[in-house]
Amino acid sequence: MATYIIRRTLQSIPILFGVALVSFAIIQLAPGSPIDRFRTPNVRPETLENLIRLYGLDQPVHIQFVNWITAFVQFWNVEAWGYSLVDGRSVRDTLVDRMPATLLLGGTALLVTIIFAVPIGILAAVRQYSWADKAITTFATIGYAIPSFLLGLYIAYLGTVVFRGLFPGFGMVSLPGTEGRGTPLDVAWHMVLPVTSLAIQQIAGWSRYVRAKMLEVLNQDYVRTAKAKGLSAAKVTYKHALRNALIPVITLFGLTLPGLLSGAVITETIFSWPGLGLLGVTAVTQRDYPVVLAFVMVGGFGVVMGNLLADILYGVVDPRIKY
């Protein structure tokens, strides 16, 4: 097991290198250049030349890549990821600052998702074609089909306008000067709408998946064997079927993890949630290249870690997997 984890982790390195290469290429191919923001009518050409040399943009592309990647792996170094073109702060510190807000939001949404989606999916499968199943299917289809920006806006509208400000529609804490600002309760109160908005979409997908897997498993021969033993319906469903149905759900877990690291870009933007997602969007609109690249890399890192964790979890819960 330990050797497997180590081997699997080492295998992630070339994948991460690929992610870095693609991220770098995309930035290179995108129109515009990092010094465009300094290009105003009264800037002298020599100043621009100096900037180009300062940032190493006069070097050939592959040298630029090597420079960037060697700097980037030194995540322990405050300077390594460069400085924001907008506020001049260390990019690494900015990302580290934003990380907790994103983890809090995404982690809570994931927890809420699991708490709701698993029982809902089981119910829909066990009572296939009942009114409950049909209601769940309808909800899931709508939740899945609605674009997240629309759902987010609608939930923001519901919480702030329809319910007259029952829940705050932006930020993570109350405005300065408000009593109890920044207490856990204050933060939780601010989380209600964004968590709801994220969770609804995820519950839609997850509950469908759990339902499908549960139906598949309920038709397996070993479920018939369990019934033939004289076990109760509850034991058949929750002991024999559920254990098997939840194994493939790990895949979804792995797919959800990157979102926990890089943030839910759209939801964070709508609710002005000060996480990585919002940071990324802002950086893109401001052409803050160092921040954008770091943001993309953190996202890519999340995907690779999600896959790695899913693979390891499979090994833990599925006795058929051998290393």
Partner 1 sequence: MTARHVGPLLEIKGIKTHFFTQDGVVKAVDDVTFEIGHGQTLGVVGESGCGKSITSLSVMRLIERPGKIVAGEIRLNGENLLDKTDADMRDIRGDQVSMIFQEPMTSLNPVFTCGDQIAEAVQQHTAVSRREAMDRAVEMLRVVGIPDPKRRAAEHPHQLSGGMRQRVMIAMALSTDPDLLIADEPTTALDVTIQAQILEVMRDLREKNRMAIMLITHDLGVVAEMADEVVVMYAGKVVERADVRTVFGSPHHPYTQGLLLSIPRLDERRERLEVIKGTVPSPLNLPEGCLFKRRCPHRMRVCDTAPPYQEVGSGHFSRCWLTPAGEAPDVGADAEGEEAQHAAEQLTVGAR
Q: Which residues bind partner 1 (CB under 8 A)?
A: 220-222, 224-232, 240, 243-244, 247, 317-320
Name the minimum Å distance from CB 226 to partner 1: 7
33 or 220: CB nearest partner 1: 220
Compute the least distance from the CB of residue 303 to partner 1, in Å: 28
Nearer to partner 1, 146 or 313 (CB): 313
Given the complex with partner 1, which of 163 and 222 has the nearer CB atom? Answer: 222
Cα–Cα dist 114/112, whole Å: 6
Type and span of the H or E element at 288: none
Task: Name which of 200 and 236 has its Cβ closer to partner 1.
Answer: 236
- Report how far Cα 289 is from the mean position of its chain's Cα atoms: 21
Lookup: tokens for 299: 């996202």
Note the helical H segments in 34-90: 45-54, 61-72
- Neighbouring residues of 73: CB distance < 8 A, sequence distance ≥ 6: 80
Is the CB of 211 or the CB of 240 nearer to partner 1?
240
CA 170 to chain centre: 19
Q: Give least dist CB 126 to partner 1, A.
A: 13
Which residue do the tokens 């006795």 mark?
A: 319
Q: How far is the CB of 228 from partner 1 (least distance, A)?
A: 5
- Selection from 242, 243, 284, 246 nearest residue 262 by Cα: 284
The least distance separating partner 1 from the CB of residue 205, rounded to whole angstroms, comes to: 24
Using DSSP, state whether 300 is helix, strand or coil. Answer: helix
